[in-house]
């Protein structure tokens, strides 16, 4: 497909006229900004910007209205909504749109196709849970009648609560006694059913709270049956976990693999033209390179080829409690200075001014053992009331040399700068947000800084390589899990044995990967997204078609989207209304 670099006129409008010289602030980045530069930027906006904003607001409104999870009526409403938007898109004259509008068209069509496919998968998931949650429909109908503004009949409502409580209590007793005629249910479906039961308890609480105390007759009839059903639902979730799952907080990690078909749908949505097996092969090749780099650093430290011993020595270089914020502050300053000296990206003064630090609670560290970022970087480090072993693992896993990769990842030029820019430019593209753009960008900077000798010592290199290996390992264990070739426990062992994680940290990482509210491809997105940006940098910057600063600023001002569409924007690639992923950015790996 024919490609051409963005016309000079577009770049002049985008960056101001003339483009800033090295060390000079861009007009849009100043505090306050030069308004002419923002007016110029506005003239490049997508023809579909308002349409995408309307879609997002309508979808948010529907989510607030249709709040019963797994409800068939909710699913039908969303099918009509997404189907209607697909028909509306088909009525648009694609060739009349400007290039930014064509980008949004492809993004929206891809998103709508994915959402419709996810609704079908949701229906399948609901059917798998149905034997453990036959009561859900009755509770959902109560809430949906309220949302339809129907009057409640207190005596009839109380009867429904009474009957459903009987059903739930009977099912819980049968589970514990091992009686009844339940079909075979996998642990992952059982855990999903337990979570769904807890969600329906919240739905019931919301329904009850609307009437309780405001309608005396309702309270008279419904209070006792409600309390009984509320307790029964709480107990039922426990019964499912006790008999079919195990203790989810301290027992085995339970995940919900999406399988080959689910993986295919998610890869198409993210515009990744590789199979799961090919992505694993890419990760294995990266892993092999990193192991060689680790050997070089290990030899420099005097540990020969025993890189794990060298890594253990680096872990022991953790700072004392109370000193961690100073480490973060200094590393943030070093990365900003290093990047600024090379004029790689525009760093708005306000973005540098407003970032903050907070300490992460011990509870949150159980699922987030490392730093989290954005405008506020949340620092994982032990508190005085943690168990001794937990203190040591937290300190070892968050030593300054490991932090050399994480601080700039979370702050500037990583997640904080991303959020700062995307909340100010093309924020309408939030519905198309993807971890391949979000996490991939932050990982790409780890690659770029590594190549520019940002690590100052072999200890620094071991610290940065730990995270690079971690990203490659995430691809291997998460895709192997979703293809049902690796269990969560095997994933934990893999992180400990191949990457050098502390076991508690490895368990937290796997638990967060499989039990959190993350896309199934979230863990894949770090390294694969980073490789996409690195390939695009080679294509446009190393070829001399754009400066590094133009490249990076244009990416951030374009908004969140699959990286293949970033490439389409930056190259002015000719698009069609039925465009699908085609960019084999990593060549042709052999699985």
pLDDT digits (tens, 9 = 90+) for 326-364: 999 999 999 999 999 999 999 999 999 999 999 988 888
How many whole angstroms separate alpha carbon 530 and alpha carbon 450?
13
Q: Quick check: 442 pLDDT over 50?
A: yes
Cα-based distances in Å from 437 to 262, 344, 419, 476: 21, 18, 12, 20
pLDDT of residue 3: 44
pLDDT of residue 264: 92
What percent of the chain stands above pLDDT 70? 94
CB 479 within 8 A of CB 524: yes
Q: Quick check: 5 pLDDT over 50?
A: no
pLDDT of residue 509: 79
Tens of pLDDT, residue by residue over 305-320, are 999 999 999 999 999 9
Between helix 458-482 and helix 400-410 the angle, nearest 10°, is: 60
Q: What's the N-to-C CA distance of the chain in angstroms?
A: 27
Q: Please, which residues have CB within 8 angstroms of residue 117's CB and are 6 or more apart in sequence?
A: 265
CB 52 within 8 A of CB 109: no
Tens of pLDDT, residue by residue over 22-58, are 545 688 999 899 999 999 999 999 999 999 999 999 9
Radius of gyration of the chain (CA): 26
Q: Is 372 helix (H, G, I), strand (E, B) or coil?
A: strand
Of residues 588, 583, 580, 548, the one with CA closest to residue 563: 583
Q: Quick check: 496 pLDDT over 50?
A: yes
Q: Is 143 helix (H, G, I), strand (E, B) or coil?
A: helix
pLDDT of residue 19: 47
Tens of pLDDT, residue by residue over 238-288, are 999 999 987 545 455 667 788 888 899 999 999 999 999 999 999 999 999
Q: Quick check: 499 pLDDT over 90?
A: no
How many whole angstroms separate alpha carbon 419 and alpha carbon 107?
20
Q: Please, which residues have CB within 8 angstroms of residue 345's CB and are 6 or more apart in sequence?
A: 339, 413, 417, 548, 549, 552, 553, 556
Q: Is 378 helix (H, G, I), strand (E, B) or coil?
A: strand
How many whole angstroms separate alpha carbon 207 and alpha carbon 226?
10
pLDDT of residue 18: 39
Tens of pLDDT, residue by residue over 149-195, are 999 999 999 999 999 999 999 999 999 998 878 888 888 899 999 99
Tell me the pTM.
0.90
Cα-based distances in Å from 109 to 92, 428, 429: 12, 15, 13
More confident residue, 300 or 25: 300
Strand partners, 358: 378
* Cis-peptide into 18, omega within 30 deg: yes
More confident residue, 141 or 501: 141
- 16 φψ region: left (φ > 0), alpha (ψ -120 to 50), beta (else): left
Of residues 279, 244, 287, 240, the one with CA closest to residue 263: 279
Residue 516's pLDDT band, with cuts at 50, 70 and 90, is low
Q: What is the mean pLDDT of the chain?
A: 91
Of residues 113, 6, 1, the one with CA closest to residue 576: 1
Of residues 176, 273, 159, 279, the one with CA closest to residue 226: 159
pLDDT of residue 373: 85
pLDDT of residue 590: 79
Of residues 468, 590, 591, the one with CA closest to residue 527: 468
Q: Please, which residues have CB within 8 angstroms of residue 419's CB and are 6 or more apart in sequence?
A: 374, 375
Cα-based distances in Å from 569 to 158, 178, 558: 58, 59, 8
pLDDT of residue 12: 38
How many whole angstroms separate alpha carbon 580 and alpha carbon 19?
34
Question: Domain boundaries in the chain?
Answer: 8-42, 49-129, 133-251, 262-571
How many whole angstroms separate alpha carbon 345 and alpha carbon 23?
10
CB 381 within 8 A of CB 352: no
For 458, the token pair is 């072999």
Residue 4's pLDDT band, with cuts at 50, 70 and 90, is very low
Residue 226's pLDDT band, with cuts at 50, 70 and 90, is very high
pLDDT of residue 64: 97
pLDDT of residue 510: 84
Range 130-154 average pLDDT: 98
Q: Is 419 helix (H, G, I), strand (E, B) or coil?
A: helix
CB 241 within 8 A of CB 247: yes
How many whole angstroms separate alpha carbon 416 and alpha carbon 355?
7
């Amino acid at each position: 497909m024919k490609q051409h670099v963005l016309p000079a006129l577009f770049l002049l409008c985008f960056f101001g006229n003339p483009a800033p010289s090295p060390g000079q602030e861009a007009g849009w980045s100043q505090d306050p900004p030069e308004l002419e530069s923002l007016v110029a930027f506005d003239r490049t906006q997508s023809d579909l910007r308002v349409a995408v904003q309307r879609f997002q607001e309508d979808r948010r409104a529907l989510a607030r209205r249709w709040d019963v999870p797994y409800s068939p009526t909710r699913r039908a409403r969303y099918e009509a909504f997404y189907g209607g938007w697909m028909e509306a898109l088909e009525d648009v004259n694609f060739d009349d749109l400007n290039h930014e509008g064509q980008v949004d068209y492809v993004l929206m069509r891809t998103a709508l196709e994915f959402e419709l496919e996810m609704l079908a998968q949701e229906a399948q998931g609901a059917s798998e849970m149905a034997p453990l949650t036959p009561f859900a429909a009755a509770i959902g109908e109560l809430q949906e009648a309220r949302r339809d503004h129907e009057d409640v009949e207190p005596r009839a409502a109380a009867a429904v609560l009474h009957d459903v409580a009987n059903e739930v209590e009977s099912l819980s007793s049968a589970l514990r006694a091992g009686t009844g005629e339940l079909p075979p249910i996998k642990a992952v479906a059982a855990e999903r059913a337990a979570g769904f039961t807890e969600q329906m308890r919240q739905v019931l609480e919301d329904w009850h709270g609307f009437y309780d105390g405001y309608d005396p007759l309702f309270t008279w009839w419904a209070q006792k049956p409600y309390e009984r059903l509320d307790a029964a639902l709480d107990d039922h979730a426990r019964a499912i976990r006790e008999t079919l799952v195990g203790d989810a907080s301290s027992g085995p990690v339970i995940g919900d693999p999406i399988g080959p078909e689910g993986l295919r749908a998610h890869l198409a949505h993210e515009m990744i033209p590789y199979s799961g097996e090919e992505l694993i092969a890419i990760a294995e090749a990266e892993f092999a390179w990193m192991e060689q780099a680790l050997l070089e650093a290990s030899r420099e430290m005097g540990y020969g080829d025993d890189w794990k011993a060298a890594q253990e020595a680096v872990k022991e270089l953790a700072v004392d409690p109370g000193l961690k914020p100073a480490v973060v502050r200094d590393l943030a300053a070093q990365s900003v200075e290093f990047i600024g000296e090379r004029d790689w990206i525009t760093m708005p003064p306000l973005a540098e001014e407003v970032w903050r630090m907070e300490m992460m609670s011990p509870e949150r560290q159980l699922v987030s053992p490392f730093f989290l970022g954005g405008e506020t970087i949340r620092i994982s480090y032990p508190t005085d009331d943690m168990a001794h072993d937990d203190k040591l693992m937290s300190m070892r896993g968050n030593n300054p040399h490991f932090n050399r990769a994480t601080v700039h990842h979370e702050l500037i030029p990583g997640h904080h700068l991303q959020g700062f820019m995307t909340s100010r430019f093309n924020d309408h593209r939030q519905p198309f947000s993807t971890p391949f753009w979000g996490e991939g960008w932050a990982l790409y900077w780890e690659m770029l800084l590594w190549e520019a000798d940002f690590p100052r010592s072999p200890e620094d290199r071991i610290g940065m390589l730990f995270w690079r290996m971690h990203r490659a390992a995430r691809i291997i264990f998460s895709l192997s899990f979703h293809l049902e070739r690796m269990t969560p426990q095997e994933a934990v062992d893999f992180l400990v044995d191949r990457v050098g994680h502390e076991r508690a940290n490895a368990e937290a990482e796997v638990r967060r990967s499989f039990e959190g509210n993350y896309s199934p491809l979230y863990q894949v997105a770090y390294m694969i997204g980073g490789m996409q940006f690195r390939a695009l940098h080679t294509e446009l910057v190393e070829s001399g078609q754009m400066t590094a600063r133009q490249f990076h600023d244009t990416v951030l001002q374009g908004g969140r989207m699959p990286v293949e569409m970033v490439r389409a924007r930056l190259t002015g690639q000719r698009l069609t209304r039925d465009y699908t992923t085609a960019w084999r950015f990593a060549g042709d790996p052999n699985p």
